[in-house]
Amino acid sequence: MDGFLLMKYRAKPILLSKASTDRMKQLAAMNHLAINGQHINADGSNVFILSQVSPHLGCTVEELPPIPGGWSGGFLDACFGLLFDYAGRALDSALHPEITSRVASHPDMVLLEYQYDQSTGEIIIGRVDSSVPD
């Protein structure tokens, strides 16, 4: 699945996605663009739960769909002019020259902690309980 389920967590919008194998390969290929050095392993966890609230000014981060022959898709903080990939990593703005960043530090989107309870099929957001098996 490549797409997002939009929901609220603690009255704030969040995005839940399960990336396909192809999307995970795309994310791994973009590791060199991740400003904060967070690397994605193509064989790693493919579930991302991200706050849709900008880490800068609190605006809502919107999806910026793929553009053939270039941008592979992700998110745009239109208030701040910052790009994020589908894993929520802040990206080097040279990827999209018409969008310029305005500060030296570029926080990634907030990636929420979660656990998946295999016995119930539930995703538990915001806490990690050692009694729930991985």
**Secondary structure letter of residue 57 according to DSSP:** T
130 in any annotated domain = no
Q: What are the pLDDT digits (tens) for 26-67?
A: 889 888 888 887 888 877 788 889 999 888 778 888 888 887
55 in any annotated domain = yes
User: Residue 96 sits in a domain of what CATH number?
Assistant: 2.102.10.10
95 phi/psi in degrees, rounded to 5: -65, -30
131 in any annotated domain = no
Write the CB contacts of 31 (distance below 8 Å, at least 6 apart in sequence).
Answer: 39, 40
How much is the pTM?
Answer: 0.76
CA distances (Å), 77 to each of 27, 32, 52, 119, 130, in order?
19, 20, 10, 37, 35
For the chain, the domain total comes to 1
Q: What are the pLDDT digits (tens) for 71-117?
A: 788 888 888 778 889 899 988 765 445 544 444 466 888 888 888 78
132 in any annotated domain = no
CA distance 78 to 55: 12
Is residue 125 within 8 Å of 115, Cβ to Cβ? no
53 in any annotated domain = yes
22 in any annotated domain = yes
121 in any annotated domain = yes
Backbone torsion region of residue 9, taken as left when φ is above 0, otherwise alpha when ψ lies between -120 and 50, otherwise beta: beta
74 in any annotated domain = yes
Q: Which domain holds residue 84?
A: 5-125
